[in-house]
Structure 1
Amino acid sequence: MIDIHCHILPGVDDGAGTVEDSIKMAKKAVDEGITTIIATPHHNAHYQNNRLKIENDVEDLNDVFRQEGINLEIIPGQEPRINAELLGQLENQEILTLCNQNKYVHIELPSNHIPNYTQSLLYELQLQGITPIVVHPERNVEIIENPDVLFDLVNEGVLTQVTSSSLIGNFGKNIQRFSHQLISHNLTHFIASDAHNVSSRAFHLRGAYEQVEKEFSVKMRYQLQENPILLVNGETIMTHPPEPIKKKKFLGIF
């Protein structure tokens, strides 16, 4: 398995605090069957992790894992928070595309709303040949309240990634239910761990894929497991036409 979203780099954000923490995470990942991780440290107002720093830290961590005999490959990535200057930051090479391929980039939205420039910015990224991947949309309050916002983005070519812990219910039943809706309506394309440690924010990637197979189908599990491989190889992601999530009636009215 490939995990495209993980905070395994030590001492750079709210993920692994030390190299020892990174080693613990790596061993747990290998136990789950993960062979490759895209390291995606936060890049926002609180954590400044630019392209060069991430690339150097990834190289150092791979050296540590080789010395420890841990069969896990770390690839450079980033989790930039959306902001009005993001296109300029990308041009200045402050923003790091996934696997350094200039094809895909993670985009983190604020937890409680969607900035009014989001649609135009994500469209501009696509005009530059870069496909944005909105991470953990199932935890965004505005998207939960109005899923049509996400439908419009996906309908325009944006990809999304749900978190494994959301799918298995670690963020609560409502977020679990909504995550399943995103899958059933073709509104997400990846599952990733967003792991920060081995306890409160662990991987749970195998469990999430098993749940997808149980709730949906082996075919759906295969597609969601295959897409990270396609991403790392710089190939086109498998998608299906998105469907809007219809709001349930309340007392007979919408």
Structure 2
Amino acid sequence: MIDVHCHILPGIDDGAPDIRASLRMASALIDDGVEAVVCTPHILPGLYHNTGPLIRAATEELRSALAAAGVHLSLFSGADAHICPDFGAKLKSGEILTLADSRYVLLELPMHVRPEPLTKFVFELMVAGYVPIISHPERLAWIEPHFSLIRRLARSGVWFQVTSGSLLGAFGRSAKYWAERLLDEGFVHLLATDAHDLERRAPDLKRGRDAAASRVGDVEANHLVFTRPQGILANTSPSNLPLSLAQHANEIPKSA
């Protein structure tokens, strides 16, 4: 399995506080069946002032520490980037990173207030050649009154990534309900841990994958944690990756 959203880098956001914690998280990920991780520290103006060069340096530092400790986990750089007015410019300059230097970019939306104009924001990213991935939509407080927006974004080619812990009830009944509904309606492209530590937000991708399989079957569950994530690492066009279940049902046109 491949985890494309994990806060494993030491000391640069609210994830692993130090190298020792990062090494323990890496071992836990391996024990859970994860072979590769995209390191996605927060980029949030006013709180986490991480930049592309800083994230790349921290990834290389952890990569070296893993090698010295004999821990065999492949690492790639990325970011869990909060949307902002100059987002596109920061992508072009390298201040914000895509996932593993691919066309796929992980977007973190405001948790409590629907951003405006979100449709225009993602459209501009797509015109520029990126594939926007909205992280943990099931945990957005505004998802219920604006679920029609989620549908419209999915139809436009936006990807959605659900947190494995949401399916397991780790974020409460509401997040579990919306994670399951997004899966059932075929809007989920990826499942990831969004792991931050080994206590409160521990790696749990295998259990999340199994919970997804109980709803959508083994083939689609494997697409969520391996096929599409592998496509991200290879920078494969979404048109050459497995369709979401909603696309299979002809609800959403296949992305170009």
Alignment TM-score, normalising by the size of structure 1:
0.92
Q: Any conservation in 1 of the 2:183–2:215 contact (CA below 8 Å)? A: no
Decide whether the 8 Å contact of 2:82 with 2:110 is kept in 1: yes
More displaced stretch, 192-201 vs 230-239: 230-239
Q: Alpha-carbon deviation of 1:177? A: 1.6
- Cα distance, 1:114 vs structure 2: 2.0
Letter in 2 for 1:55: R
Per the TM alignment, residue 222 of structure 1 is displaced from its structure 2 partner at its CA by: 2.2
1:47 aligns with 48
Matched, 1:144 2:148: no
The alpha carbon displacement at 1:218 in A equals 1.4
3-state secondary structure, aligned to 1:191: strand
Equivalent in the alignment of 1:251: none
* Preserved contact between residue 166 and residue 179 of structure 1 (Cα < 8 Å): yes
What is the CA deviation profile of residues 127-185 of structure 1, one whole-angstrom value per residue up to 9, with x for unaligned ones?
Answer: 11110100000011112332111111111111010001101111112211210110111
Matching residue of 2:234: 233
**Alignment of structure 1 residues 4-43 onto 2, 5 Å:** 4-43=4-43
Offset of 1:238 from its aligned partner?
Answer: 2.4
Give the RMSD, CA atoms, in angstroms. Answer: 1.3
Q: Matched residues in 2 for 1:222 and 1:114: separation? A: 31
Structure 2 equivalent of residue 2 of structure 1: 2
Residues 8 and 16 of structure 1 are in contact (CA less than 8 Å); yes or no, is this contact kept in structure 2?
yes
Structure 2 gap segments, 5+ residues each: none
Paired residues of 1:186 and 1:239 also in contact (CA < 8 A)? no
Q: Distance in 2 between matches of 1:150 and 1:216?
A: 19
- Which structure 2 residues correspond to residues 1-254 of structure 1 after superposition, within 5 A? 1-45=1-45, 46-101=47-102, 103-225=103-225, 226-235=227-236, 236=238, 237-240=241-244, 241=246
Q: What's the CA shift string for 1:45-82, capped at 9, x where partnerless? A: 20011111111111111000000000101100001101
**Equivalent residue of 2:144, what SS?**
helix
| Distance in 1 separating the partners of 2:135 and 2:43 | 13
Residue identity matched to 1:57: A
Classify the secondary structure of the residue corresponding to 1:144: coil
- CA offset at residue 97 of structure 1? 0.9
Residue identity opposite 1:65 in structure 2 = L
Question: Structure 1 residue 239: deviation in Å?
Answer: 2.4
For 1:148 and 1:219, the matched residues in 2 are separated by 27
Whether the 8 Å contact between 2:52 and 2:97 is mirrored in structure 1 is yes
1:223 maps to a residue whose letter is H
Identical counterparts, % of pairs: 32
1:214 CA displacement: 1.8
* Secondary structure in 1 matching 2:22: helix
Q: Which amino acid aligns with 1:140?
A: L
Aligned residues, how many? Answer: 243
